[in-house]
Amino acid sequence: MMMLTCAGMGSRVAALPTAGRRASPRTHPPSFPESRVSSPNRSISGSSPPPAAPSFPRWCDSRRRRTIRGSSPNASSLHKPSREHRVGARRHAILPLMSDGWALPAALQGGVFTATDAAELGVGARRLRSDRVEQLHHGVWADASAELGIVDRSRAALLAVGPDAWISHATAAHLHELWLPPRLRELDRIDATMPAPMHAPRGSGLRGRQRVQDETQLMLLDGIRVTTPAQTFVDATDVLSLADLVALGDSVVQQRQPRAAAGELREAIDAHRGRRGHRRLLAAAQLVSPQSRSASETIARLELRALGDPPVWWNVPVVLDGIELAPDAAIWPAGLVIEVEGDHHRVDREQWVTDIDRYNLYQRLDLEPHRLLVTTRAETRERLRAILDRVRQRWDPERRPPPIADWCDEPPTVEDGWLLAD
């Protein structure tokens, strides 16, 4: 028996006997001695057996037993699935995955559509408010999982504005795959124009304009009403500098893939007479050349012209020692060739290998190759100054250019102002 002393009275009080009381679970946590763990699967070689399910005191909660035994090999019977679960799993394995009721019909997936198109296919207003669709303009939606290109975005803009509108300016240049400066290669808004006296369209994702336009300068491209390449060149005076406007004009009349004839370009320029930007159009038309094959070549050609305009053959195929080659720019009296390189020469492996082979070929033919990187106009001009110094050092007036390839019927040089010449 235990004796407790009362602090206030100084007497001794006999405590109750504790021999027959059960210990509290909190004061005596369970222990699992090794002697109580059975090992029926011990191998003969002496390796340790897999862990068996531990035994628990009677006071341990049954939920705790199932939680701990769930990781043991003998606990499969405690988690046996019900009959409904087994039937449901078998049904999922047999039947195809059903729609959740919010998916769009196949005719509307991957593109743009109006509310009328959706209603005809049974898509109501509630489903148009779900995360499966994205509203582009008023009354125009698109599949949210689709990646919309410039064609889909232009089609959506015309659906929102109306049938009288057309795509113009930088967006039209994208549709025609014309050369644009880097700042306009990613469009945040679509250029849509309405005929006067109607108001210019407004709305999110739109850049609206109003203009009197001749219907002959409009065309259908992939079902989209858009300005012709010649009219796109004229409209670009509103958004491009002189050098970028010349580069766009070069892409319209280039020899490899012309988008318009020189006569069409002249007609579009004449129709713009008396309007804003006509003088800049005439200045750009004086510098347009069909021999450029990229916007970088156009910038290099304009900078060379500003530095003295040496006699340069641009992309003219010639035959030298029985080998046909067409350098980007060749100054034959100096025996010097220039290869204009853009960013795709760095990232495209096939183009990179071609550039190295061409560089080695020029050296074997006793030519001096130079690789010109076009960045800003000021940096490009400084690089060209160093190249022109080499031209003056190697200049030999008696050196003749090699013969032009038989299949080429274009002149090796184009005079300024050929576009406006009758």
Locate 13 and state its tokens: 């009080």
pLDDT at 82: 53
Lowest mean pLDDT among 38-42, 117-121, 240-244: 38-42
The domain ranges of the chain are 101-148, 165-287, 295-394
The model's pLDDT over 32-48, given as tens digits with 9 standing for 90+, comes to 444 444 444 444 445 55
User: Structure tokens of 133?
Assistant: 């669709």
Q: Which CATH number fits domain 295-394: 3.40.960, 2.40.50, 2.60.40, 3.40.640?
A: 3.40.960
Q: Tokens 């006999």 — which residue?
A: 14
- DSSP string computed for 51-90: PPPPP--TTS-HHHHHHHHTTSGGGGGGGPPPHHHHHHHH
How many alpha carbons fall within 13 Å on the CB side of residue 216? 5
Looking at residue 168, its amino acid is S
- Ramachandran quadrant class, 263 (left: phi over 0; alpha: psi -120 to 50; beta: rest): alpha
Query: pTM, whole model, 2 decimals?
Result: 0.72
Res 346: pLDDT: 73
Amino acid at 346: R
Predicted pLDDT of residue 51: 57
Lowest-pLDDT range of 21-35, 132-146, 209-223: 21-35
Q: What pLDDT is recorded for position 83?
A: 45
